[in-house]
């Protein structure tokens, strides 16, 4: 049985180089974050021209609701570019999609893993950003079709019912006692 959910894609960002990852601790780079109204996605790759285009985890979806909550908790102005995530969405609990295939519009994705925040968030935003994002840093996905993705209202189709709370952090796994 398929489940349908209305979501919104607010922003699409790419950057040709890393500003945090691969750099010395708290040495923030100056590579631009480029915003797109639409962008080409490539099967098994990612966003055209992005620094992660050919990586194991090519695209990161991030919740606008989480971004707003983090900035509110920190008492700072919302600047979505600081998060360095690719696709900013609202209306879906992203952690529900880990390990699942789903479609946004005509584009098929596979949710690969939670995108854990890094300590860089404390350096570029404010101390406390890292812990505020823990368990809700976004969803790393792989695209499974060549398509163009555009900003706007979309329908997300999944084979499972999705959690309704986009702010809910990723739960810690219950490991068997040894």
Residues 158, 149: Cα–Cα separation, whole Å: 18
In this prediction, residue 79 carries a pLDDT of 94
Low-confidence residues of the chain: pLDDT under 70: 19-27, 172-178
- CATH architecture, domain 3-158: Beta Barrel (2.40)
In this prediction, residue 67 carries a pLDDT of 96
């Amino acid at each position: 049985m398929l489940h349908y959910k209305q979501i919104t894609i607010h922003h699409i960002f790419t950057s040709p180089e890393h500003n945090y990852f691969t750099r010395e601790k708290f040495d923030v780079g100056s590579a631009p974050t480029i915003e797109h109204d639409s962008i080409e996605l490539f099967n098994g790759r990612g966003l055209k021209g992005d620094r992660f285009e050919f990586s194991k985890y090519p695209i990161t979806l991030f919740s606008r609701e989480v971004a707003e909550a983090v900035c509110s908790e920190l008492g700072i102005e919302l600047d979505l570019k600081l998060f360095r995530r690719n696709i900013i969405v609202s209306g879906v609990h992203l952690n529900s999609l880990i390990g699942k295939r789903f479609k946004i519009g005509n584009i098929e994705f596979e949710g690969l893993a939670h995108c854990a925040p890094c300590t860089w968030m404390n350096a570029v935003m404010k101390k406390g950003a890292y812990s505020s994002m823990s368990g809700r840093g976004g969803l790393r996905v792989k695209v499974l079709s060549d398509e163009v993705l555009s900003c706007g209202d979309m329908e997300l189709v999944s084979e499972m019912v999705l959690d309704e709370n986009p702010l809910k952090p990723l739960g810690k796994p219950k490991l068997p006692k040894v």
